[in-house]
Amino acid sequence: MSGSDSSQPGIVWLASYPKCGNTWLRFMLSTAIFGPPERTADVEARIPDLHRPFDPPPAHQGRIYIKTHFVLSDDHPMLDRTDRAIHIIRNPKDIVLSALNYQRLTGEGDRSWTRAGYVKRFIRHGGDRAWLRGGFGTWADHARSWRQTDRFPVLALRYEDLKSDPRAELTRMLAFLGLPADPDRIDAALQASSFESMRAMEIRESQATPVTPNGRPFLGLKRRTRDAFFVNKGRSGQSLDTVRPGLDARFDAAFADDMRAFGYNS
């Protein structure tokens, strides 16, 4: 299978706010387009991450795929080379809890923050403050920027739909990209991007190779604990009251309108 089959040149952005399942999406599409990866570095090479060092492909190359967390604006890199985008959104409560797991795994973030303190700051600012500083915007601003644009076609995905029916959502993506949705291609993609396959690859690589931040989608392995993984449980519809009672109500008061606008009940 080839990723340059399409007659349409240009960049296809895999866009999301952080912790929305972009790595999962990359595994799924990478396998469907290029074939099953032998290593996580294969996924990184086929669908690079804009936020890590990589050599921009030449403008004359055919269609290419790149991950981005940036809010869509005039300042977005390589915007003039864009063909289309796939945007995946996730319930922001689940994003917060996934971010807490990520911080535990990597040791990143302000060590003076408690878990409850992180949630309160996320509520106050509409997102992680580091993500805002990095150009990712708030959760709502990021979603609006990609889903309300008329610059180019955008396929809107929900993490929850991808989780409940990955075959149907992958079929939608391949149709959007003008690629054949043959059963073998889809079966291979679903197998490679299953929780079990991705977790097994993460464990295998963390035990076999020195951990470096570049060249691999899975980060944070330097502080591996027995129950902390980049490929986490991927739960949906979680409660912030598990962090501290009352946080759900505070979150709902701040996010309810924006969540409803994107199909989520607070």
Looking only at the bridges linking them, the beta strands covering 154-158 and 11-16 are unpaired
Q: Are residues 48 and 66 in contact, defined by beta-carbon separation less than 8 angstroms?
A: yes
Radius of gyration of the chain measured on its C-alpha atoms: 18
Q: In this structure, what are the phi and psi dihedrals at residue 167, rounded to the nearest 5 degrees? A: -65, -45
CA distances from 94 to 11, 90, 100, 234, 252 (A): 29, 7, 10, 8, 13
Query: Is CATH 3.40.109.10 the right assignment for the domain spanning 11-261?
Result: no
* Distance, CA of 165 to CA of 155 (rounded, Å): 16
CA 95-202-45 angle, 5° bins: 85
pTM of the model: 0.84
Tens digit of each residue's pLDDT, the chain (266 residues): 334 444 467 999 999 999 999 989 999 999 999 999 888 888 999 999 999 888 877 766 789 999 999 999 999 999 999 999 999 999 999 999 999 887 776 656 556 678 999 999 999 999 999 999 999 999 999 999 999 999 999 999 999 999 999 999 999 999 999 999 899 989 999 988 888 888 788 777 776 655 554 444 554 444 444 455 554 555 777 899 999 999 999 999 999 999 999 999 86
* Distance, CA of 19 to CA of 265 (rounded, Å): 19
Residue 3 burial by CB count (10 A; 0-12/13-18/19+): exposed, middle or buried? buried
Sheet-wide strand order for 154-158? 64-68, 11-16, 82-89, 154-158
